[in-house]
Amino acid sequence: MTLEIVNLSFNFPSFELGPVSLNIDDGIMVILGPTGSGKTTLINLIAGILSPNKGKIVLNGIDITKIPIESRKVGFVFQDSTLFPHLNVHQNILFGLTRDELHNEERMIMVRKIIEDLGIANLLNRTIDSLSGGESQKVSLAQMLVTRPRIILLDEPLSHLDPPTREKLRLELRTILKKQRVPVIYVTHFEEDVLALADSISILNNGKLVGTGDIKQILNSSPSTTSFFTQVTSGANYISGLVVKSEEGLTSFKVGSHLLNTLGEFLVGTKIGVIVRREDIILSKEKIKTSARNTLFLQVAEIVQRSNLVDIHLKIDGLEIVSRITQSAMKDLGITKNDHIYAIFKASAPHLVREES
């Protein structure tokens, strides 16, 4: 399935979205942007909740711009729980099915599979007000998935959850969404969501599309896009690689020709994505023996001043990372562009955001 957004625009009295043009195939596009950038407006337009002033929305070659909400077969999960309080969990999940679908054995097998995959079979007779935040969002997902939508829209579905629940659900979400094989648009301002879920990213700022592509394309695009991306996120380093060894709670994964270490146990052959905060990367002009399990010898590609701090952009052989240090540390070390330097971080520094077998 392909979703095309063609010059879509919408005017509020004090805000204008667009024109926005995007193409999304069967993958997850994460739309990133600060509050008020138009992310929610954009997906409300796609869902049909709002009508655009100009432009069109084309799904598999068919213009759906003027088709009413209920006929678009869009799946939508909101930030706040939208489960119907007067129905129990099971009734909520089945709400979107027609009478014929409720009596279709094949369809009901699919429904039961979705309930099992999401681990909510034990919640079916519960009332909505008795659910936790994570349970509520899982039920919302089930409610949406059983209708077999042609497009899936998610508006910051994890933002109201506590960090451990958010982390757990985030890891499951990519697997669940990829199974649907339909275009998915995920709106967020959490960089972990971007890194965990995105096949591609689009960045919205003040109603305008600032950049679109995968993470590497975004970071290599115009300085304004890159700097905007790092302003919106905290600018952590995203590193992905293939697990080559995992024992005694320590996992080694290959990134290009480099071997990095992180805590945790994974199957050999798993592709993992981790983020390492810029502040967690220590620099040294000399090779020193430390307790840190990750030592890389890299070249300084760029030095970017940020008030009292400095971002040192390092790269070698397909690996690019950024270390953030103080001005005085930079002076003490005498770091200049093109220097070769050791970048060190502990095995506990990488934070897992993606795992694909």
Contact 189, 156 (CB under 8 A): yes
Q: Is 133 in the site for another protein (CB under 8 A)?
A: no
Report 244-283 residues binding another protein (CB under 8 A): none
| Interface stretch with another protein, choices 79-87, 104-112, 239-247, 346-354 (CB under 8 A) | 79-87
Q: Is 143 in the site for another protein (CB under 8 A)?
A: yes
Q: Is 36 in the site for another protein (CB under 8 A)?
A: no
Minimum distance, C-beta of residue 158 to another protein, in the bound complex (Å): 18
| Interface stretch with another protein, choices 83-91, 117-125, 226-234, 289-297 (CB under 8 A) | 83-91
Determine which residue in the list 19, 33, 52, 75 makes contact with another protein, applying CB under 8 A: 75
Q: Is 70 in the site for another protein (CB under 8 A)?
A: yes
Q: Is 157 in the site for another protein (CB under 8 A)?
A: no
Residues that contact another protein, how many (by CB under 8 A): 23
Q: Is 180 in the site for another protein (CB under 8 A)?
A: no
Determine which residue in the list 12, 15, 84, 297 makes contact with another protein, applying CB under 8 A: 84
Task: Return residues touching another protein (CB under 8 A).
Answer: 47-49, 68-71, 73-76, 78, 80, 82, 84-86, 95-96, 98, 143-144, 147
